[in-house]
Structure 1
Amino acid sequence: MEKREKYSLETVPARVNKIVVKGINKTKDEFLQKKLQTIFKAENVLQMFILCKAAETELKRLDIFKSIQIVIDTSKNVDGDNKYDVLFNVKENRWLYGGAHTTFGGDNNATMVGSLALPNTFGRAENVRLEYNRSLKGDHGGAFRFSKPLNGNPDVRFSTSVYEMNLEYPWSGFKEKSRGINMDFTFPSSLGKHCLRWEGIWRDLRALSRTTSFTVREQAGHSLKSSLKHQFTRDERDAPILPSKGALFKMEQEFAGLGGNVEFFKHDMELQFNQKLVLDTVIQMSLAGGVVKNPNPNEEIRINDRFFLGGPLTLRGFNARGVGPHSDENALGGETYWAGGLHLYTPLPFRPGKGGFGDFFRSHFFINAGNVYNLQSDKSVLENLKGLSDEFRLSYGAGIVLMLGNLARMELNYVVPLRAQARDSVNTGLQFGIGVNFL
């Protein structure tokens, strides 16, 4: 038998003679040229395949085409061998489409979002979107959003929004109407993802009912906030909802006072670490904390800018916003907080439906701790730290977790608070939670 000679695609020379894109109606030619011109740099067949695939991947991430098909053929009527023509058969997204989906917030609330979008609005991967949302608890609002990748890079993006929201906070006894505008600049770095945001927002705070405490009523009225915010995220987890390995680090700084009548410095941080153990068991450690301070010591932080803690998504064993200072059963929040948790996730006993529906369930054992505290200007840093740590809350429990795909997760736990303060709103026994981000 004749032995066949082995060779690598790297040794087969190739030159791209031309690139043709068929199916274009809206997308600008010069925009596509920038995305595809690197294919001409291919010097062999392997490089040509890799560069074509990379261009396809980046075009898909821009979300301007419904489908992309690549055809590579030898070039005809061209002198010399190893010349190729590359054909991109594409189908653009519809010029207008609408839809509806459900999101889950941090207060155990589901929100229906309806939207109309103009994808690839001006032919360079821009997106214009009109949204209306309404939650099961009656919160509602709308927004007009525009986003655009800079220089055609899907990772570097400018976006802006104009919005109105009408929200109710029954745990704190107030409702708030807000109208605002923001501008975002999102970009990656070697460490993670950054987002710079400017936001201007007018807020109208009102008492929710006749039982709203006088302390909350004192803060009713209008406020105008202009702030600059930086968000940094490094997410190395293998899944966003119920990861089995990897770490998450989130950090946010905000400075308000670039105009308007609201001033503060705010810093918030979250850490999460996941490690897979034997028999598909996962241990998770989480820690979060934040501090907000008005540069003017004679003015306090408004209630709608403070930190709150408590509820099935943060500190289990307490009602929503149930930890910290209260006035007539209305949660007032605090200027600083910390919270941590140690979790153990295991498959259900006997693991029913292994490899199928049963994989969406987990047993859950946990310990949570945390505190909300108001900084005292007449006390030293050490005294404030002592106050933050002395009155910490502690709870433990067990339950079942159900993953809702990559959208959210549900928890049903039996919780026992071990440490609580007299002013806290405690929830002993069964507690249900649904959301995306759990502590």
Structure 2
Amino acid sequence: MAVASARLMELDVFKVAEATVDAGSNPGEVIVDLQVEEKGAYSLNMGTFSQGGEVSGETSWAMRNVMGNAEKVQGTFSLGHKLSNVFKVEASQPIGFGNTGRVNVSVFQSLLNLVKHSSYKERQRGFTVELSDPESPHQLSYEGSWRTVLPEKPTPPAKKGATATPRPAGQQQPGVALPTEAGHSFKSSVKYVVTHDTRDDRIMPTEGAFVRASTELAGLGGDVKFWKQVVEAQAHATPLGGA
């Protein structure tokens, strides 16, 4: 029953899912009592954060189990004071057929303003498809994304009495060197992630270890080709056995 309750909680639909088993009135008969409390179908959150010298406001929303199939649709939008922005919509659905796997599909668009320090803006548009299982350490995903680098020189402070001449977005100013990555590119990549986690608590662990290794291969079509591997590791222990 503990396994069944855990699987229900992994659907991210219920606040509480508890199952108990009692003996029935007849020999060989059992009574299964399942008590669940469902999360709200809709949620909305708003907040602010600072990253890279830019303050942004963020709004996120989610819809759970609207069709009754443990599906989840969520979206995020953020806008910074330098006009950097991110928009993402993600849909998640259990695969079913007796397993606990899920398929996640997302589309995204972002604009990163790096004019002040690097004289360009970077825009990305794309989508991802991901297969994962909360009971498995393995995760596989595909990403297709279009990247555009827009060279742009920082605007100097205007002099008193001077009139600034507007310039079309993305147009290079005279004397500004174009970054080698300027223009458009398309990335088509697959990514594999494996995770080993024995921590006693994911937020404030005191014992255990965490290791995550990811391998990404780009070049399955498109004009971006690379191979990237990243390893994260943590180890936690209580000194002198907590004495």
TM-score > 0.5, shorter chain as reference: yes
- The residue aligned with 1:114 is 59
Please point out which of 202, 208, 218 is paired with 1:246: 208
What are the Cα deviations for residues 17-75 of structure 1, in whole angstroms up to 9, with x where unaligned?
A: xxxxxxxxxxxxxxxxxxxxxxxxxxxxxxxxxx2x43223212212234446576665
Q: 1:219 aligns to what SS in structure 2?
A: coil
- Contact 1:168–1:208 (CA under 8 A) maintained in structure 2: no
- Structure 1 match to 2:12: 63
**C-alpha distance in 2 between matches for 1:234 and 1:185:** 17
Equivalent positions of 1:370-389 (< 5 A) are none
Q: Distance in 1 between matches of 2:76 and 2:5?
A: 30
8 Å CA contact retained: 2:119, 2:154: no
Q: Deviations over 1:277-299 (max 9, x none)?
A: 24969xxxxxxxxxxxxxxxxxx
**Aligned with 1:167 (options 112, 125, 135):** 112
Task: After superposing the two structures, state which structure 1 stretch, 66-75 or 264-273, moved more.
Answer: 66-75
Please give the secondary structure, in 2, of the residue aligned with 1:176.
Answer: strand
Distance in 2 between the 1:124 and 1:183 partners? Answer: 19
Change (3 A) 1:216 1:272: farther
State the partner residue of 1:194: 138
1:154-233 correspondence to structure 2 within 5 Å: 154=100, 156-169=101-114, 170-187=116-133, 193-210=137-154, 217-233=179-195
CA distance in 2, matches of 1:183, 1:259: 16
For the Cα contact (< 8 Å) 1:147–1:160, is it kept in 2? yes
Conservation of the 8 A alpha-carbon contact between 1:254 and 1:265: yes
Matches within 5 A, 1:267-346: 267-278=229-240
- TM-fit CA distance, 1:141: 1.6
Q: What's 2:167 paired with?
A: none
Specify the code of the residue in structure 1 equivalent to 2:194.
F
For structure 1, the residue ranges without an aligned partner over 5 or more in a row are 1-50, 282-439
Which has the larger share of helix? 1
After superposition, give the CA deviation of every residue in 1:270-329 in whole Å (9 maximum; x if it has no partner): 333333324969xxxxxxxxxxxxxxxxxxxxxxxxxxxxxxxxxxxxxxxxxxxxxxxx
Q: Deviation at 1:239? A: 4.0
Equivalent position amino acid for 1:246 in 2: G
Residues 215-258 of structure 1: per-residue CA shift (max 9 Å, x gap): 66342211111111112222333344554333222222211112
Q: Give yes or no for contact 1:206–1:217 (8 Å, CA) kept in 2.
A: no
RMSD between aligned residues: 3.5
Counterpart secondary structure, 2:219: strand
**Which residue does 1:145 correspond to in 2?**
90
How many residue pairs get aligned? The number is: 223
Answer yes or no: is the 8 Å Cα contact 1:174–1:216 preserved in 2: no
Name the one with the larger strand percent: 2
Q: Which amino acid aligns with 1:96?
A: Y
Shift of 1:112: 4.6
Amino acid in structure 2 at the alignment position of 1:119: R
Q: In structure 1, how many angstroms separate the alpha carbons of the residues matched to 2:182 and 2:137? A: 37
**Shift of residue 160, structure 1, vs aligned partner:** 0.7
- What secondary structure, in the 3-state scheme, does the structure 1 residue paired with 2:133 have? strand
Return the alpha-carbon distance in structure 2 between the equivalents of residues 230 and 88 of structure 1: 37
Q: Distance in 2 between matches of 1:201 and 1:274?
A: 37
Counterpart of 1:296?
A: none
TM-score by length of 1: 0.43
Percent of matched pairs sharing the same residue? 30
Distance across 2 between alignment mates of 1:111 and 1:239: 30
Deviation at 1:167, TM superposition (A): 1.5
